[in-house]
Amino acid sequence: MRRRSPRRLLGVLAAVTVAFTLFGSTSTAGAADRAPAAKSAAAAAVTPLSTSTPVVFVHGYTGNASNWVTAMSVFQLNGWSSSKLFAYEYNSYGNNVTNAQGLASFVNNVKARTGASKVAIVNHSMGGLVSQYYLKVLGGNTSVSHLASIAGANHGTTFAGACLIYTTCQQMYPGSSFISQISAGDETPGDTRYATWYSACDGVILPYTSTRLSGATNNNVLCQTHIGYLADTVVLGQIARFVAS
């Protein structure tokens, strides 16, 4: 029997690994309604992912662009070019109105740089507040095709009580005028597709259901910590496929 070369065996292994990464859809996240497994698998096999939309990542309180290293790697595995992936940084101790205005300028720059008419936004934690203010109050939904909120503080968190010396934490506390403004009326305005990922094991977003948005596809992750999401390649893969849908 002819022996396969080590190089050929490695190539086969790599191909199988990439295929599993791109098309595997089972995970600990499970609240959103899904089509039957066989139908989903067949669709994934024949429908290529649409990866032309630029993605803007928005970090959480005290975060920075480095929070998105794993996420960007997952998006690249799912077909995105690194030239279509951007991380927005803002002042965690300033004012989320100013931070949202900065996000608006950042998105406009990304659109001009890439020639795209819309971007997708993926946020984490307090980045949910920045994103929601941009989409709802500043009218940014017309420039956003998809919004994915990972453990977003979308209705506030009592955890912010530990840092109320800062305006951003005051705004992040449940019942603040800032949260009242972004949650009043339609929480998912425009033609943007919205989805959230939240978990009872979060530990920082309290209550953990604060992340859910009315009108969004809300995915209840079985058990993931607040920071753990940033390295959760399964959830991040789901988000990449959501943005590509």
Q: Containing H/E element for 99?
A: helix 96-114
Largest CA distance in the chain: 74
Q: What is the set of active-site residues? A: 125, 202, 226
CA distances from 10 to 13, 59, 79, 103 (A): 5, 36, 21, 43
Measured between alpha carbons, how far is 6 from 12 in angstroms, rounded to an integer?
A: 10
- Tokens encoding 161: 């009580």
